[in-house]
C-alpha cells in the first residue's frame, strides 16, 4: 500500500510500512534500493498518546529528510510504525514482531519507563539496537539501549537548584506517578532537595488513571509547603493542574514539574493554568536560535499543523538523526557495528549540540530552565551548556563492563 504522509498518520494501526514518497525516493536515486528498516513503536492511541502524537510525526520527518539527502549508503530508509496503544502487552508483541517478522535494523520507541523495560529484554534476545526517545529516571546501563533524553542529573538537579536556591522555595511536597519513572524520580527529587538544603515534607504516588486530586490538594493546603513538585504522567494526571489552579493557585504555592509540557499540556490548559509552572527542558519552541526556529517551521510544514511542537517531538527527530549519524560512522546498520561506533557522535539539533557519551549511551546536551506563560508556551529563564548524564555515569561504564544490562537506582 502506498501512503502519503497524512494517510500514514491517519490510518497507522498495528504495523504500517512508510517511507518517503516515490517522488522523493526517485529524485534521491533511492527508488530501487534495498531499504533499511526502522521500527517505531509509540502510542498513537491510548491514555499516554499525548506524548507520542508529535513524536510519531517528527520521527517520520527525520526519515523523510534522511531520504531526501540520499538515504544511508545509497539505500532508502523505511519506517514501520506500530501503535502500542498505551498497553505494554503491545510493546512486547510489536517489539518481537519487528525483529522476527519485519526484520528491522533498529527499534525506536517506547514512551514510559515500563514500556522501555518490557522491550529492552526483547532487544537483547534478538541482538538488536534500541533508541529510547524520552526523558526518564536514569540509570540504564546497556550497550543495546541508547537514550537521547534527559536524565535526573541534567533535569532534576538544575531545576531543584533554581527553585530551592534562586527562588528560595525550600519546603517541597512531591507528587509522582506510581510506576518506576515516578518512584525513582521522586527519590532523585528528595536527594537533590536535601543536598541543596531544602526539605521534602511528603511524597505521594498516584496510579496513571487517577483524575481526582481533591484529597491530596487538601493535604497540601494543610502542609503549607513552599512549592509542589510534580512528576505526574499522562492525560488523566493533567487534571491535577486544573484542580490545583482552581483551589490552591500557583500564586500561593508555586509548582515545579519534570514532565509538564512533554504532552503539550501547556497548549491544552488555560492561560491561567499554564502560567508560572517551572520546568527544566532540553527544548522549547521559543528557544532563541535559528536551529530551533527552523525545526519548528519544518515540522509544521511537514505535519500540516500550526500549533506548539514541544520537546517530545524534538526527541523523536533528535534520536533518529543521532542514530543515522552513528550508522554513518559505523558504515553499517548491523547492531553490533552501531554499538561500537556510539562514542563521540554529535548532531547539531534544535536544542543545541547533542554528543553521545559511549560510557553510558546517553547524551551530553544543553539544558534550559523555563516557565509557563499566558500564550500557551514557555519563557526561557536560563540555560546550562553541555550537561553530562552524571547520575548514570556514576553507576555505568560500558567501556569497562560492556555486557552490563542493569538499571541502577539512587540510594537515599
Which pLDDT value is given to residue 236?
85
Q: Within 13 Å of residue 103, how many CA atoms lie on the same side as its CB?
A: 3
Which fold, 156-257?
Answer: Rossmann fold (3.40.50)
The pLDDT-based confidence of 110 (bands split at 50, 70, 90) is very high
- The span from the CA of 185 to the CA of 370, in Å, is 19
Percent of the chain predicted with pLDDT > 70? 92
Reduce the DSSP state of residue 405 to 3 states and report it: coil
Reduce the DSSP state of residue 197 to 3 states and report it: coil
- The span from the CA of 57 to the CA of 5, in Å, is 9
Residue 387 parent element (H or E): strand 378-387
* Cell 500564586, residue located: 251
- The span from the CA of 373 to the CA of 260, in Å, is 13
pLDDT at 313 over 70: yes
pTM exceeds 0.85 for this model: yes
Considering only CA atoms, which of 250, 149, 251, 159 is closest in space to residue 196? 159
**For the residues 66-88, what does the mean pLDDT come to?**
95
* Cell 536514569, residue located: 138
pLDDT per residue over 364-384, tens digit each? 999 999 999 999 999 999 999
5-149+310-362+389-393: CATH, from 3.40.50.1820, 2.60.40.1230, 3.40.190.10, 3.40.50.2300: 3.40.50.2300
**For the residues 133-150, what does the mean pLDDT come to?**
97
Same fold, 5-149+310-362+389-393 and 156-257: yes
Question: Which of the 8 DSSP states describes residue 50?
Answer: G
Which pLDDT value is given to residue 207?
95
**For the residues 12-41, what does the mean pLDDT come to?**
70
Which pLDDT value is given to residue 355?
98
Percent of the chain predicted with pLDDT > 90? 89
Which pLDDT value is given to residue 23?
60
Domains of the chain, residue spans: 5-149+310-362+389-393, 156-257
Which pLDDT value is given to residue 13?
45
**For the residues 268-282, what does the mean pLDDT come to?**
95
The pLDDT-based confidence of 33 (bands split at 50, 70, 90) is confident
**For the residues 285-311, what does the mean pLDDT come to?**
96
* Cell 517506547, residue located: 110
CB 187 within 8 A of CB 153: no
- The span from the CA of 360 to the CA of 362, in Å, is 5
Helices 88-100 and 113-125, packing angle to 10 deg: 30
pLDDT per residue over 204-256, tens digit each? 999 999 999 999 999 999 999 999 999 999 888 999 999 999 999 999 999 99
Amino acid at each position: 500500500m502506498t501512503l502519503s504522509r497524512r494517510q500514514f498518520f491517519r490510518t497507522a494501526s498495528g504495523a504500517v510500512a512508510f517511507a518517503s514518497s516515490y517522488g522523493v525516493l526517485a529524485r534521491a536515486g533511492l527508488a530501487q534500493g534495498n531499504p533499511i528498516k526502522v521500527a517505531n513503536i509509540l502510542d498513537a492511541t491510548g491514555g499516554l498518546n499525548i506524548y507520542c502524537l508529535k513524536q510519531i510525526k517528527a520521527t517520520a520527518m527525520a526519515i523523510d529528510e534522511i531520504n531526501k539527502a540520499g538515504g544511508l549508503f545509497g539505500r532508502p530508509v523505511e519506517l514501520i510504525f506500530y501503535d502500542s496503544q498505551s498497553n505494554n502487552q503491545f510493546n512486547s508483541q510489536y517489539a518481537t514482531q519487528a525483529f522476527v517478522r519485519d526484520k528491522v535494523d533498529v527499534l525506536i520507541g517506547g514512551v514510559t519507563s515500563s514500556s522501555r523495560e518490557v522491550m529492552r529484554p526483547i532487544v537483547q534476545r534478538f541482538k538488536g539496537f534500541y533508541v529510547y526517545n524520552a526523558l526518564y529516571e536514569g540509570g540504564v546501563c546497556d550497550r543495546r539501549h541508547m537514550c537521547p533524553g534527559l536524565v535526573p542529573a541534567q533535569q532534576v538537579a538544575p531545576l531543584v537548584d533554581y527553585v530551592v536556591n534562586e527562588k528560595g522555595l525550600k519546603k517541597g511536597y512531591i507528587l509522582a506517578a506510581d510506576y518506576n519513572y515516578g518512584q525513582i524520580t521522586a527519590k532523585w527529587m528528595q536527594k537533590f532537595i536535601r543536598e541543596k538544603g531544602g526539605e521534602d515534607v511528603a511524597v505521594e504516588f498516584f496510579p496513571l488513571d487517577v483524575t481526582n486530586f481533591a484529597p491530596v490538594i487538601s493535604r497540601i493546603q494543610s502542609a503549607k509547603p513552599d512549592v509542589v513538585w510534580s512528576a505526574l504522567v499522562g492525560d488523566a494526571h493533567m487534571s491535577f493542574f486544573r484542580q490545583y489552579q482552581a483551589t490552591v493557585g500557583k500564586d500561593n504555592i508555586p509548582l515545579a514539574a519534570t514532565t509538564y509540557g512533554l504532552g503539550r499540556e501547556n497548549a491544552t490548559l488555560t492561560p491561567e493554568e499554564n502560567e508560572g509552572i517551572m520546568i527544566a527542558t532540553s527544548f522549547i519552541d521559543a528557544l532563541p536560535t535559528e536551529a530551533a526556529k527552523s525545526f519548528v517551521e519544518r515540522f509544521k510544514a511537514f505535519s500540516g499543523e500550526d500549533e506548539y511542537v514541544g520537546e517530545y517531538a524534538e526527541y523523536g527527530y533528535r534520536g533518529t538523526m543521532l542514530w543515522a549519524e552513528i550508522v554513518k560512522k559505523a558504515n553499517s546498520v548491523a547492531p553490533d557495528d552501531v554499538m561500537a561506533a556510539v562514542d563521540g557522535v554529535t548532531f547539531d539539533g534544535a536544542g543545541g549540540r547533542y554528543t553521545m557519551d559511549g560510557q553510558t549511551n546517553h547524551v551530553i546536551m544543553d539544558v534550559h530552565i523555563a516557565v509557563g506563560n499566558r500564550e500557551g508556551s514557555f519563557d526561557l529563564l536560563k540555560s546550562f551548556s553541555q550537561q553530562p548524564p552524571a547520575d548514570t555515569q556514576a553507576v555505568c561504564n560500558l567501556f569497562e563492563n560492556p555486557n552490563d544490562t542493569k538499571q541502577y537506582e539512587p540510594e537515599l
